[in-house]
Amino acid sequence: MEQKKQHDQLTQEKTSAAHAALQLVKDGMVLGLGSGSTVKIFMKLLAEKVKREGIKVYIVSSSYDTSILAATLGLIEVSLNSFTPDLSIDGADTVFPDKSLIKGGGGCLLREKLVNYYAREYVIIVDHTKLRAKLDGPLTVPIEVHPMSYSQVVKALRETFNAESSLRVFSEKKLGPAITDNGGFLLDATLKWSGDMRILEEKLKSLPGVLETGIFAIKKPSKIFVGRGESYTVIE
Ligand code: 5RP
């Protein structure tokens, strides 16, 4: 019962943050869409707004999961090769005070990075539990790797960052590693880092076999909407 109450509270916060981001949407916009439960709430509100106001928006998706929901809701999907998103909207797993992020809980980090970094700007919508006050203690960073070299990357992460990494596996209905939408494997690397997160993003990305990292620090979101009950606060 306590768990359900907490879940409902967090859903309310995600909804408040999604409503805040919805105010930025204007007729004719190309919108990047991240992935995850908060983005799903945003997409449902977006589809309602499109119908209610008779506006047109075009979406660039960051996962099959988001594309499937977009099709169900009647949102029109276009390709990143043909369009630059005016604005991208995404969730996050961890938000630091300098607006750097850790993402990839849903394994969609590579396409999320493409959509967010190539958008003119991106905003993040989260419930309050995602905020982390300080960059201390170990970080767990999702990393997408090429299957051919995942164990070499695990070794390189140990040697370079003293990191312990685990290969993400499907928990049900399929045995073996979780395969991303791009055919990659996922590592969850636990490491310590203090200082500039942009350097961590660059260093991780430079290891051969790393396709993308869940650190989003080189390009930061323009705004982070944090749900607070039925209201929200903004980190700019
Ligand atoms: C998926 C992500 C999500 O944005 C992140 O995991 C947050 O998800 P949720 O909104 O369900 O808490 O990075 O790869």
pLDDT tens by residue, 60-81: 999 999 999 999 999 999 999 9
The answer to whether the beta carbons of residues 212 and 201 sit under 8 Å apart is no
Q: What is the pLDDT of residues 196-212, one digit of tens each?
A: 999 999 999 999 999 99
What CATH number has the domain spanning 2-129+218-235? 3.40.50.1360
Q: Which residues lie below 8 Å from residue 19, measured CB to CB, with a gap of 6+?
A: 45, 232
- Residue 226's alpha-carbon distances to 83, 97, 140, 161, in angstroms, are 28, 12, 22, 31
Tell the residue nearest (CA) to atom 6 of ligand 1: 105
Q: What is the average pLDDT score of the chain?
A: 97
- In three-state secondary structure terms, 184 is coil
Report which ligand 1 atom has the smallest distance to the Cα of 130.
Answer: 12
Which mutation among 15, 42, 89, 103 tests ligand 1's pocket best, with the greatest number of atoms within 8 A of CB? 103
Q: How confident is the model at residue 18 (pLDDT cuts 50, 70, 90)?
A: very high
Q: How confident is the model at residue 167 (pLDDT cuts 50, 70, 90)?
A: very high
pLDDT at 2 over 90: no
Sign of CA dihedral 69, 71, 75, 80: positive
pLDDT of res. 135: 83
CATH of 138-215, picked from 3.40.50.80, 3.40.50.2300, 1.20.120.1200, 3.30.70.260, is: 3.30.70.260
Cβ atoms < 10 Å from Cβ of 135: 18
Tell me, using a 6 A CB cutoff, whether residue 37 lines ligand 1: yes
Q: What average pLDDT score do residues 88-102 get? A: 97
pLDDT of res. 120: 98
Instruction: Report the half-sphere exposure of 34 (CA within 13 A, side-chain side).
Output: 34
Tell me, using a 6 A CB cutoff, whether residue 127 lines ligand 1: no
Q: Which tokens go with 148?
A: 């051919």
pLDDT of res. 137: 82
pLDDT at 1 over 90: no
Which residues are catalytic, by number? 112
Q: What average pLDDT score do residues 145-149 get? A: 98
pLDDT of res. 51: 98
Q: Rounded to two decimals, what is the model's pTM?
A: 0.96
Least Cα distance to 42 among 129, 119, 125 occurs for: 125
Least Cα distance to 16 among 125, 153, 137, 158 occurs for: 125
Residue 42 burial (C-beta neighbours within 10 Å; 0-12, 13-18, 19+): buried
pLDDT of res. 80: 98
The answer to whether the beta carbons of residues 2 and 9 sit under 8 Å apart is no
Report which ligand 1 atom has the smallest distance to the Cα of 14.
Answer: 10
Tell me, using a 6 A CB cutoff, whether residue 221 lines ligand 1: no
Residue 29 burial (C-beta neighbours within 10 Å; 0-12, 13-18, 19+): middle
Domain positions in the chain are: 2-129+218-235, 138-215
Percent of the chain residues topping a pLDDT of 70: 100
Q: How many angstroms separate the CA atoms of 82 and 35, rounded?
A: 21
pLDDT of res. 134: 87
pLDDT of res. 9: 95
pLDDT at 236 over 80: yes
